[in-house]
A and B are shown apart, each in its own frame.
Chain A
Amino acid sequence: MNQIVPAGKRPSTELAAPETQDFVTMFIEGQLFGIPVLTVQDVLGPQKITRIPLAPREVAGSLNLRGRIVTAIDVRLRLGLPKRAEEKKGMSVVVDMGGELYSLMVDSVGEVLSLPAAKFERNPPTLDLHWREFSIGIYRLEDKLLVVLDVGKLLDFTRNE
């Protein structure tokens, strides 16, 4: 199967056929997730994070990214998964949402993949309710499935509870 081409080999995303989309991939608990590459600003290693008291549990704190304040969201907690073990160092993907920067804390960040629309499927009805809320749909890759995260919903804490 050669539909999955690393993004770097394409001239640019704009010129890409509309039926393929580029995703930054990341892993949480071995599961592959993806978010559209254009929303991503930065990929960060472990950072010094300031805790924010009274914030929702999923908000890990805030950090300083080149003079800008970034709010860190623990995606594991957001997805209802247990907290990452202390000794494991995570990574973060910084996204821009309405002019505000958020850092999505995940286990690790993978490569950028260009995925064809044909491989896209909607959420299976059996998917965990929690996950269904934050997932736009699933891409069938050769050896695994990629869950497309809905960044907007992931950061929309007004609909919490």
Chain B
Amino acid sequence: MDDLLSEFLTETSESLSTLDVALVNLEQNPNDPQILGNIFRLVHTIKGTCGFLGLPRLEHVAHAGENVLGKFRDGELEVTPTAVTLILQSIDRIKLILGHLEQNECEPEGSDEDLIAELNAMADGRAAGSPPPPPPPPMPTFESLSSIPEPAPAAAAPPPPPPPPPPPAPVAHDPEPEVEDEPAPKAGVPAHVAAQVVTGAPLEAKESAVAAQTIRVNVELLENLMTLVSELVLTRNQLLQMVRGKDDSEFATPLQRLSHITTDLQEGVMKTRMQPIGNAWAKLPRIVRDLSVEMNKKIDLQMLGAETELDRQVLELIKDPLTHMVRNSADHGLEPTEERKRIGKPEVGKVVLNAFHEGGHIIIEISDDGRGLNLDRIKQKAVQNGIATESELETLTPQQIYQFIFKAGFSTAEKVTSVSGRGVGMDVVRTNIEKIGGTVELKSFPGKGSSFVIKIPLTLAIVSALIVECANERFAIPQISVLELVRVTANSEHGIEMINNAPVLRLRDRLLPLVSLKRQLLLSEDTEERQETFIVVTQVGTYTFGIIVDRVFDTEEIVVKPVAPILRHIAMFSGNTILGDGSVIMILDPNGIAGATGESGLLGGAQAADTQTVRESHADAKTSLLVFRAGGEDLKAVPLALVARLEEIEVTDIEHSHGKPMVQYRGHLMPLIAIDGSMSFREEGRQPVLVFSDQEHTMGLVVDEIVDIVEDRLRVELSAGNPGIIGTAVIAGKATTIIDAGYYLPQAFGDWFGRNDKEFGNADFHAPRVLLVDDSPFFRNLLTPLLSVAGYEVISVESVDKALALREQGNEFDAIISDIEMPGMSGFEFAVAVRGDARWAQIPMVALSSHATEKDFERGRQVGFNDYIAKFDRDALLQTLASTIAASKGAA
């Protein structure tokens, strides 16, 4: 291809993508002279250049477009969406012609009369109202040379709009059209010439200065450089390895220097490949704008951190996934304008793109304030496509279910719009992102919107990796997934513990599931007992787990090379590389390891920090349960949240008072209660005790053995008649007795609850939904199982704000139980708020309070509570609840 032509094509396509953005900007800020000047200049440059290159079709379209833009600039035409659409159309036409030009080096056959006619009509039709400049005069001016915004039309029209738009950022590629166009002008309007002279001089100087500072370099050349530098880094590492340990080597100093220079060189070359992420975003405003017109939604696309730089190669690869995700957010995520209005959201939906650096990675967040993912649709789709069965879904948290959208063939769009739902799904997005060593996480909140977080390495070519050893083989783990390293020795505080052969580690109050690399990779078990092992705490998505390895070496910069095709099926490896010592080493893929252990990397979230909130708002979510043995071999459990601490007390410390056992515990006396009332303690040694505590009272429940902490759904299947037992539930696959902590507490303190006999209300078949508002986690945890066992579906929240948020989300309940004394909004205020809004006005409300005086009752009724119950009167609560629900149903 002709050099000149290819140069023109490159420049023009750059200008065009800038134009797209600028035009959408213009639509939003129709009166910004700077944006207009910019657009005008770009179109003008295109026109000028193609006139020079002899491309008449392009020139005519650009010319007609420029006419309309000229009128915009002079304020003769109003910037309307229709007008902008027309301009965008002409830009599309220009792109089309350019595409043909690129392939065939000539303009395609055909005519643009229709478009030009429309453009001219737009320019004339409206312009008819404003007399002064008839179309011809501005034309010759536009024909002129410079790419500088022309003050000419202004000069021609008597009342000149203030100074010409400030010269936009000089672009290095402008010079030719400027010079070459010189012979073109036919009409020498003196004023124009003068203006040209004035503005031309300083600008030219500036431009040439910039031109001298930047050059265009073939991308291939840069790629080659990068490969060479990668090899250099490897060789450097190799040399360093050889000299390591030889302090007196004469090579040490020069090698040090070589090492520094190599690092600098590597950084330098990497920088040449860096591009602002904004380049990948350039198309988005246009896409979103078209979308908002087509779908009739109002969308505000915010792009933050567009200047964040990342590797060219990475940029190319994330371009499409990003576009897809933004489309998705705008198309599926955001509600139609009417719906937004109806549910009281701002009319304009927001899609926010945010990019920033974080520890050697680029984080890109795409979030919207739309409706969030449709959980039911996803479940339905998952079952339909055979990805999961109904029963499997039951055991998953919503956040886990959301991850299904990353599976192949999953589009929840009910209709295929022209925008999305074309079968290219999130699975492709995820694959693309993972291909470049990135991760993508998804969070969604019903009614609040969803957000995707993409984490990608700065560069693909060289990554930093942790070298570990296992069964005398070395492996590399990409540093991106490594959270921390834990060294476990034979005498460290917490060793690796086994639960039915599944290794776990207690790490800062949490159980960390462990994966034995030896076992996963089927490496031979070495016989010698290790004095120490290391655990590489790894994070994949929201799933955190530990990889057990024998030794940990240092981190090394490695050049990732793909594994041979015959090994691609091994999910454990993401690539291989050559280490400094010249040996080949496999790179472990944490995602694959997580997947192989059963916990798919996708289905993380079980341990995510946000599960707490999820758990509170979904009765079906998992509860952490403490499983123990006491007074018998069978398993017993209490909700872990009820247990303040696990203690082991010296048997010798147990004292008796009034025949009741107790210990001195943290400066107070703590009564000890046994499950079966037998009061038999261990003969000697230490006695495990579950400590229950509420503000001022502390009680110890004596148990034989603490078995495990499991996270499972608490669904009591058999309700027991025995006092002290809520019922039996299947926990981690075993029938387990759920202990009613509430039964034992009054045994220790008479005043803990008003009454301690228990009786459950009859199970309601429709499982009425009850909202429990109480700031005390203790009571929430106590009442939730109690009410669930009585047949209610309980949603508990800790504050009025959260409760009202549920109302905003459109939740419905059959009854509300609320505490009165709460920080922030009190129960009384809550009642007023509930009654004051139509949505929940009819829901019966029951107040719970420790102050059960007549006056309180009265006040409660006045503000809208249907009933008022003393906090510890569980029977009364259940009865009242049943009767109020019945009454309100009867009334309805």
Q: Which residues of A contact B573 (CB under 8 A)?
A: 52
Q: Which residues of A contact B584 (CB under 8 A)?
A: 50, 61-64, 69
Q: Which of A56-93 contact B (CB under 8 A)?
A: 56, 59, 61-64, 67, 69, 71
Check if B234 sits within 8 Å of A67, measured CB to CB: yes
Distance A63 CA – B578 CA, assembled complex (angstroms): 9
Q: Is B725 positioned at the interface, with any CB of A under 8 Å from its CB?
A: no
Q: Is A157 positioned at the interface, with any CB of B under 8 Å from its CB?
A: yes
Chain B minimum-CB-distance residue to A157: B566
Chain B minimum-CB-distance residue to A50: B584
Q: Could you say which of A50, A53, A61, A71 contacts B566, with CB atoms under 8 Å apart?
A: A71
Distance A67 CA – B230 CA, assembled complex (angstroms): 11
Distance A157 CA – B523 CA, assembled complex (angstroms): 22
Check if A59 sits within 8 Å of B583, measured CB to CB: no
Q: Which residues of A contact B521 (CB under 8 A)?
A: 53-54
Check if A62 sits within 8 Å of B566, measured CB to CB: no
Kindly name the residue among B522, B561, B572, B586 whose own CB sees the greatest number of chain A CB atoms within 10 A.
B586
Q: Which residues of B contact A155 (CB under 8 A)?
A: 566
Q: Which residues of B contact A51 (CB under 8 A)?
A: 473
Distance A102 CA – B585 CA, assembled complex (angstroms): 16
Check if B473 sits within 8 Å of A50, measured CB to CB: yes
Q: Is B221 positioned at the interface, with any CB of A under 8 Å from its CB?
A: no
Q: Is B1 positioned at the interface, with any CB of A under 8 Å from its CB?
A: no
Check if B586 sits within 8 Å of A50, measured CB to CB: yes
Check if B473 sits within 8 Å of A53, measured CB to CB: yes
Check if A56 sits within 8 Å of B582, measured CB to CB: no
Q: Which residues of B contact A53 (CB under 8 A)?
A: 473, 521-523, 572, 586
Q: Given the known inter-chain contacts A50-B473, A53-B473, A62-B584, please indicate yes or no for A67 contacting B566, CB distance below 8 A.
A: no
Q: Could you say which of B561, B570, B585 contacts A55, with CB atoms under 8 Å apart?
A: B570
Main SS of chain B's interface residues? mixed
Distance A52 CA – B473 CA, assembled complex (angstroms): 9
Q: Which residues of A contact B499 (CB under 8 A)?
A: none
Q: Is B4 positioned at the interface, with any CB of A under 8 Å from its CB?
A: no
Check if B564 sits within 8 Å of A100, measured CB to CB: yes
Q: Is A98 positioned at the interface, with any CB of B under 8 Å from its CB?
A: yes
Q: Which of B70-89 contact A (CB under 8 A)?
A: none
Check if B522 sits within 8 Å of A71, measured CB to CB: no
Check if B585 sits within 8 Å of A50, measured CB to CB: yes
Question: Min CB distance, B202 to chain A, in Å?
Answer: 53
Chain B minimum-CB-distance residue to A49: B584
Q: Which of B455-474 contact A (CB under 8 A)?
A: 473
Q: Is B182 positioned at the interface, with any CB of A under 8 Å from its CB?
A: no
Check if A56 sits within 8 Å of B523, measured CB to CB: no
Q: Which residues of A contact B576 (CB under 8 A)?
A: 62, 69
Check if A69 sits within 8 Å of B473, measured CB to CB: no
Q: Is B565 positioned at the interface, with any CB of A under 8 Å from its CB?
A: yes
Q: Could you say which of A54, A61, A69 contacts B561, with CB atoms under 8 Å apart?
A: A69
Distance A48 CA – B586 CA, assembled complex (angstroms): 15
Distance A148 CA – B327 CA, assembled complex (angstroms): 56
Q: Which of B256-272 contact A (CB under 8 A)?
A: none
Q: Which of A83-114 contact B (CB under 8 A)?
A: 98, 100, 102
Q: Which of A131-155 contact B (CB under 8 A)?
A: 155
**How many chain B residues have a CB neighbour from A under 8 Å?**
23
Q: Given the known inter-chain contacts A67-B578, A69-B578, please indicate yes or no for A100 contacting B572, CB distance below 8 A.
A: no
Check if B564 sits within 8 Å of A71, measured CB to CB: yes
Q: Which residues of B contact A55 (CB under 8 A)?
A: 567, 570
Question: Min CB distance, A134 to chain B, in Å?
Answer: 15
Check if A67 sits within 8 Å of B231, measured CB to CB: yes
Chain B minimum-CB-distance residue to A102: B564
Q: Which residues of B contact A67 (CB under 8 A)?
A: 231, 234, 578
Q: Which residues of A contact B231 (CB under 8 A)?
A: 67
Check if B561 sits within 8 Å of A100, measured CB to CB: no
Chain A minimum-CB-distance residue to B470: A53
Chain B minimum-CB-distance residue to A48: B583
Q: Which residues of A contact B563 (CB under 8 A)?
A: 71
Check if B570 sits within 8 Å of A64, measured CB to CB: no
Q: Could you say which of B523, B567, B572, B577 contacts A71, with CB atoms under 8 Å apart?
A: B567
Distance A157 CA – B569 CA, assembled complex (angstroms): 10
Question: Min CB distance, B593 to chain A, in Å?
Answer: 11
Question: Min CB distance, A159 to chain B, in Å?
Answer: 11
Q: Which residues of B contact A64 (CB under 8 A)?
A: 578, 582-584
Q: Given the known inter-chain contacts A69-B576, A69-B578, please indicate yes or no for A52 contacting B586, CB distance below 8 A.
A: yes
Q: Which residues of B contact A54 (CB under 8 A)?
A: 521-522, 570, 572
Binary B-proximity of A27-66 (CB < 8 A = 1, otherwise 0) = 0000000000000000000001011111110010111100
Distance A133 CA – B234 CA, assembled complex (angstroms): 40
Question: Min CB distance, A98 to chain B, in Å?
Answer: 7
Q: Which residues of A contact B583 (CB under 8 A)?
A: 48, 50, 64
Binary A-proximity of B551-595 (CB < 8 A = 1, otherwise 0) = 000000000010111110010110011100011111000000000
Question: Min CB distance, B582 to chain A, in Å?
Answer: 5
Distance A7 CA – B563 CA, assembled complex (angstroms): 35
Check if B565 sits within 8 Å of A98, measured CB to CB: yes
Distance A69 CA – B561 CA, assembled complex (angstroms): 8
Question: Min CB distance, A104 to chain B, in Å?
Answer: 13
Question: Min CB distance, B852 to chain A, in Å?
Answer: 67
Check if A52 sits within 8 Å of B567, measured CB to CB: yes
Distance A64 CA – B572 CA, assembled complex (angstroms): 21
Check if B578 sits within 8 Å of A56, measured CB to CB: no
Q: Which residues of A contact B567 (CB under 8 A)?
A: 52, 55, 59, 71
Q: Given the known inter-chain contacts A50-B583, A54-B572, please indicate yes or no for A59 contacting B566, CB distance below 8 A.
A: yes
Q: Which residues of A contact B522 (CB under 8 A)?
A: 53-54
Chain B minimum-CB-distance residue to A156: B566
Distance A71 CA – B561 CA, assembled complex (angstroms): 13
Check if B473 sits within 8 Å of A56, measured CB to CB: no
Question: Min CB distance, B822 to chain A, in Å?
Answer: 56
Question: Min CB distance, B411 to chain A, in Å?
Answer: 30
Q: Which residues of A contact B564 (CB under 8 A)?
A: 62, 69, 71, 100, 102
Distance A64 CA – B567 CA, assembled complex (angstroms): 16
Q: Which residues of A contact B572 (CB under 8 A)?
A: 53-54
Question: Min CB distance, B524 to chain A, in Å?
Answer: 10
Question: Min CB distance, A114 to chain B, in Å?
Answer: 31
Distance A51 CA – B521 CA, assembled complex (angstroms): 11
Kindly name the residue among B522, B566, B577, B586 whose own CB sees the greatest number of chain A CB atoms within 10 A.
B566
Distance A55 CA – B583 CA, assembled complex (angstroms): 18
Distance A102 CA – B567 CA, assembled complex (angstroms): 12
Q: Can you list the 6 inter-chain pairs with the closest CB atoms, starting with the nearest?
A: A53-B521, A71-B564, A50-B584, A157-B566, A62-B584, A54-B570
List 15 A-B pairs, Cβ < 8 Å. A48-B583, A50-B473, A50-B584, A53-B521, A54-B522, A54-B570, A61-B584, A62-B586, A64-B578, A64-B584, A69-B561, A69-B578, A71-B564, A100-B565, A155-B566
**4 extra A-B contacts, CB within 8 A, seeds A53-B473, A55-B570, A100-B565:** A50-B584, A52-B573, A54-B521, A69-B561
